[in-house]
A = this chain, B = another copy of it.
Amino acid sequence: MTAATGIWPPAATPFREDLSIDTERYVAFCHELLRDGAHGLAVLGTTSEANSLDFEERKSVLEKLAASGINPAQLLPGTGAASFGDAVKLTKHAAELGVKGSLLLPPFYYKGVSDEGLFEFVSEVIARVNNKRLRLYLYNFPQQTGLVWSSELIAKLRGAFPETVVGIKDSSGDAKYLDTLLEKFPGFAIFPSSESLMVDALGKGAAGCISATANTHVKEIRALFDGWQSSKADAMNKRASAVRALIASYPLIAAVKATLADQHKHKGWHRLRPPLTALTERQASELRNKLAAL
């Protein structure tokens, strides 16, 4: 099984008024992203508010996507959790469903934990999932977790589990960290979290991009992925980066959802689960106007 490549949007999750998942709308949105050019879906990530969904909801979402006709090989769900046991159960469930792989956050409650402890965590997850089809993509997001997958730890994990630990999504935004990964780990499926970093990273061997704003601009980002070596690359890159910078100048998940609300003409897209909050009407209207003017 080759590792994932291309554009894998971390599909946002629409909520009903009572904050339950609007499953029909969610499934339809996922199909739309695939039709619009996504190679697959990095569902249940940070932008999806996966860590605000409960244990049962996270399993249910995956099952519903599979039942709707999406090939599980086009899914790269986040299955990390603060709890070791929940991470094992979610990762096992996803592997048994036949997904392409799992994005694994480090266990993110305790801080200042050692590389040894994180190695033990991943080893135990792999041993307990006990499924040859399991493929793990490490999920690096120190701004939320307070923890980093160090390059020493990644090297150790790849050495111990070469068939299983096959890639990483780096949401740190730290270009130096990303460059170190690209340099040290050829053949590792490395995904920056922003299209602004993608073209440079593709030149250095990155696999693609898992970006929040692929929820709202998947066609443009797919075109950039396909054409990054073409004569139009510079212009496309400039425009995609400008859109990204504008949306990311607001609280990112709320701004993505506000833009989805406009694109789908459905106000429900504005809803976030606490502790996250929606953009104010003023922010949303300012963002809308600036996006239209770009």
Contacts and interface: CB of A to CB of B under 8 A. Distances in A.
A110 B275 contact: yes
A109 B57 contact: no
Nearest to A82: B51
A84 interface: yes
A133 interface: no
A195 B82 CA distance: 28
A112 to B, nearest CB: 8
A29 B120 CA distance: 27
Interface string A34-77: 00000000000010000111111100000000000000000000
Contact of A277 (B19, B120, B274): B120
Contacts of A116: 277
Contacts of A83: 51-55
Given A82-B82, A146-B146, A276 B53 contact: no
Given A55-B83, A117-B274, A109 B108 contact: yes
A81 B46 CA distance: 16
Give the oligomeric copy count.
2
Interface centre among A52, A118, A143, A275, by most chain B C-beta atoms within 10 angstroms, is: A275
A288 interface: no
Given A51-B83, A53-B83, A85-B57, A276 B146 contact: no
Contacts of A121: 274-275
Contact of A117 (B55, B81, B114, B276): B276
A101 interface: no
A291 interface: no
Contacts of A273: 84
26 contacts: A46-B109, A51-B82, A52-B82, A52-B85, A53-B83, A53-B85, A54-B55, A54-B84, A54-B88, A54-B89, A55-B55, A55-B83, A56-B85, A57-B85, A81-B82, A82-B82, A82-B109, A84-B273, A107-B274, A107-B275, A109-B145, A114-B275, A117-B275, A117-B276, A118-B274, A146-B146
Given A54-B83, A84-B273, A111-B144, 16 more contacts: A52-B110, A53-B83, A54-B88, A82-B82, A84-B275, A109-B144, A113-B275, A113-B276, A116-B277, A117-B274, A117-B276, A118-B275, A120-B274, A120-B277, A124-B274, A146-B146
